[in-house]
Structure 1
Amino acid sequence: MAEPAAPTGWAAVRAELRGLVGDVRRELAAAGRPPLRDAVAEPLLVAAAAADAVGLEWEQPLAELVGFVRSRLTGDYAVDDFGFDADLTERVFLPLLRPLVRHWFRVEVRGAENLPADGAALLVSNHAGTMPLDGMVLQSVVFDETGRHVRLLGADLIFATPFSHDLARRTGTTLACREDTERLLAADQLVAVFPEGFKGLGKRYADRYKLQRFGRGGFVSAAVRGQVPIIPVSVVGSEEIYPLLATAPLLARALGVPYVPVTPLFPWLGPLGLVPLPSKWVVQFGEAITTDELPAGAAEDPMVVFSITDQVRETIQQTLYALLVQRRGVFG
């Protein structure tokens, strides 16, 4: 009797996917984990069908997607001591960010050669834009320029919100405290800090590109103690995505948040007002400020810490002014 013909076209797609889903189900059963339902498997089939219908190459991307889903369902993936999931960040989070970075904000990167290829460094950036999109943009451009993940230092509020807490941890953000900063730098990580905090993020549009106070210089102490370079980062474009007109302090106090944004579009247009305006961004990485030649105990000397903090702040501020003079328009 003749062998049955191998399936072709969409039948082959379904056969391969069903086989892969069956493999995952068996792995879950062997591990004593809940079974994989069709509601999870069907989106893979629909995606492959759509790709096949328009003539796209689906085999390799689909194999990667199924491999990712398998690792998530079986628990076969790694996170570090801070909860950072590099696989999730590289395969889901950053690919979702790239269209925003490249096509909506059209981010231009300057001075990428100042980012070290290895070893620790502390990136210090201005912070603005009502919503912390500048941190996510920084993550995307640093990875695409160097292949390295930048570990953001986040405020307490991020970790007080369940969904935000989980996403932040998984994608590389950790609490902005001395202990975590020093541990990351000791592990040769790129660490990014936004010393203005909510004062910068929630400043009004009338005060755009005017740096707020940089706090007590705790980030400088950590860098000096670890003898790692400090890289000033200047971001232009973030101030215009949500022009902040007011902060509704009474409502913010009632809600327990730093501010409630009132912009030309929000809350007047509802959810549509949350779409960021497509301003043109420039991210400039400055030359490193070295700390390894400072004398022993410099990290505990308030005058040294203040001097370096002021140098970093002034470098960022003057670079912002220069970039603003050079740009041709907010959206061009």
Structure 2
Amino acid sequence: MADAKVIPFGEEPRSRRAARSGGAAGTGGGAKKDAAGKRAQGPGPHALSSVPDQPDGVEDSMGGDDAKKVPSQPGEPQPVTPRAEGAEEPEAASPEPEPEPEAEPAPGGGAWDRRLAEGFAFLRRRVTGDYEVDEFGYDKDLTEQVLMSLIRPLYANYFRVEVKGIENIPSDGGALVVSNHSGTLPLDGLMMQVAVHDNHPAGRHLRLLAADLVFMLPVVNELARKAGHTLACAEDAERLLERGEIVGVMPEGFKGLGKPFGERYKLQRFGRGGFVSTALRHGVPIVPCSIVGAEEIYPMIGNSKTLARLLGFPYFPITPTFPWLGPLGALPLPTKWTIQFGEPIPTDGYPPEAAEDPMLMFNLTDQVREQIQHTLYKLLVQRRSVFF
């Protein structure tokens, strides 16, 4: 027997490399011929010494793409294609563990926990006196935690207020919001206050100027002060604007609040334009505001002037439900509201003496009034229903 040629492990015979390259470039018949040639040639002596005999029917899976499945004969060694130098053995793929199902939180549990924590923190601040009240009596902590929370369900669920043009209120600095006034009871001012705080990106607070009657009533007086309202006078308005606050004013006053149902959405006189003079002195923008929906909450079909004089009220309303149904008649109708803040009217371009010019004040007052009235008509045309 001739001496066998020793082939180092990892080095393939030249004839096999040639046959493989030829088989890859040729057709399927060439691949079969190459596989048969490899079967006849057999492995080198190193492969024979390292691989044990395989049982019958084992497939040769190490021969590459051109390998052919050939059943092995008893006692015949199986060819093994040497692995290239430096190549790592393939590791068996281990099955990925299935992720454990996450525990679902109890519905609403996080919200209730947060509310309880905020409530206890509020009580602790009230007991320890860790809160501030400004010179007007405004208690920001009490307003945000309690008063707003009491008004918000009426705002969001009962009247379903829709707010438009909130971006017209500046993010910082003072501004004067001028709005129409209606509804027999001044709920429109409260809804406007919630609308500014809950919808403005900076969460700003609206400081309303209220009539003298508000601060003459025993309980209402204290609540109005705590909520940030102050007397409707030029001095208080100027002090708030100097501090960079958003000030709200309703120039119609009781004339708009107590007008008959037949005159709904028709603006009354705006007084002598004192709000324009205040805005001119401080150079703050005037933001017109139009409110639709408040006129129908208490349809005022009559006014008992005798009772109004006895009680010291500017009017005593008679509606389809009040006073006939007693306290139940004081429940407002669930109308759908829309509050739209219009394009601001700048006043910083006027000289300081412009605040004393009666003609300029008259023109600006008329401009604000016309803009509010035009927006009211526009919103009424777009409204589908009083209640939807």
Give 2:154's match in structure 1, choosing from 64, 80, 100.
100
- Displacement of 1:298 in angstroms is 0.6
Q: Corresponding residue for 2:24?
A: none
Q: Corresponding residue for 1:140?
A: 194
Q: Corresponding residue for 1:272?
A: 328
Q: 1:55 to 1:188 in 2, by over 3 A?
A: closer
Q: Find the aligned partners of 1:290 and 1:76 in 2 and give their Cα distance.
A: 39
Q: Find the aligned partners of 2:152 and 2:295 in 1 and give their Cα distance.
A: 20
Q: Corresponding residue for 1:177?
A: 233
Q: Find the aligned partners of 1:260 and 1:160 in 2 and give their Cα distance.
A: 17
Aligned-partner SS, 2:350: coil
Q: Find the aligned partners of 1:206 and 1:317 in 2 and give their Cα distance.
A: 16
2:312 aligned with 1:256: yes
Give 1:89's match in structure 2, choosing from 140, 143, 150.
143
2:188 maps to amino acid: D
More helix by share: 1
1:296 maps to amino acid: P
Aligned residues: 280
Q: Corresponding residue for 1:127?
A: 181
For 1:23-42, list aligned pairs within 5 A.
none
Give 2:285's match in structure 1, choosing from 229, 235, 238.
229
Q: Find the aligned partners of 2:324 and 2:123 in 1 and give their Cα distance.
A: 40
Report the aligned-residue RMSD: 1.4
- Displacement of 1:209 in angstroms is 0.3
2:170 aligned with 1:116: yes
- Displacement of 1:155 in angstroms is 0.2
Deviations 1:166-206 (A, max 9, x none): 00000010000000000000100000000000110111100
Q: Find the aligned partners of 1:308 and 1:182 in 2 and give their Cα distance.
A: 18
2:123 aligned with 1:69: yes
1:283 maps to amino acid: I
1:188 maps to amino acid: G
Q: Corresponding residue for 1:308?
A: 364
Unaligned runs of 5+ in 1: 1-53
User: 63-72 vs 300-309, which deviates more?
Assistant: 63-72
Q: Find the aligned partners of 1:88 and 1:192 in 2 and give their Cα distance.
A: 20
Q: Corresponding residue for 1:160?
A: 216
Deviations 1:240-282 (A, max 9, x none): 0000111211110111111111111111111111111011111
- Displacement of 1:120 in angstroms is 0.6
Deviations 1:48-90 (A, max 9, x none): xxxxxx9845433222212212222333211111110111111
Aligned-partner SS, 1:72: helix
Q: Find the aligned partners of 2:378 and 2:108 in 1 and give their Cα distance.
A: 48
Q: Find the aligned partners of 1:76 and 1:196 in 2 and give their Cα distance.
A: 39
Deviations 1:33-59 (A, max 9, x none): xxxxxxxxxxxxxxxxxxxxx984543
Q: Corresponding residue for 1:151?
A: 207
Identity among equivalent positions (%) equals 62
Aligned-partner SS, 2:302: coil
Q: Find the aligned partners of 2:266 and 2:194 in 1 and give their Cα distance.
A: 25
Q: Corresponding residue for 1:211?
A: 267
Deviations 1:272-310 (A, max 9, x none): 111110111110100000001112311011111111001
Indicate if the aligned counterparts of 2:301 and 2:318 stay in contact, CA closer than 8 A: yes
Q: Corresponding residue for 2:352?
A: 296
Q: Find the aligned partners of 2:272 and 2:350 in 1 and give their Cα distance.
A: 19
Q: Find the aligned partners of 1:213 and 1:59 in 2 and give their Cα distance.
A: 50
Q: Corresponding residue for 1:244?
A: 300
Give 2:256's match in structure 1, choosing from 189, 192, 200.
200
Indicate if the aligned counterparts of 2:335 and 2:387 stay in contact, CA closer than 8 A: yes
Greater Rg by CA: 2
Q: Find the aligned partners of 1:60 and 1:286 in 2 and give their Cα distance.
A: 36
Q: Find the aligned partners of 2:124 and 2:296 in 1 and give their Cα distance.
A: 41
- State TM-score, norm by structure 2: 0.70
- State TM-score, norm by structure 1: 0.82
Structure scoring higher RCO (CA < 8 A, sep ≥ 6) equals 1
2:132 maps to amino acid: A
Deviations 1:190-241 (A, max 9, x none): 0000000011011110010000110111111000110000000000000000
Q: Find the aligned partners of 2:133 and 2:330 in 1 and give their Cα distance.
A: 32
1:237 maps to amino acid: G
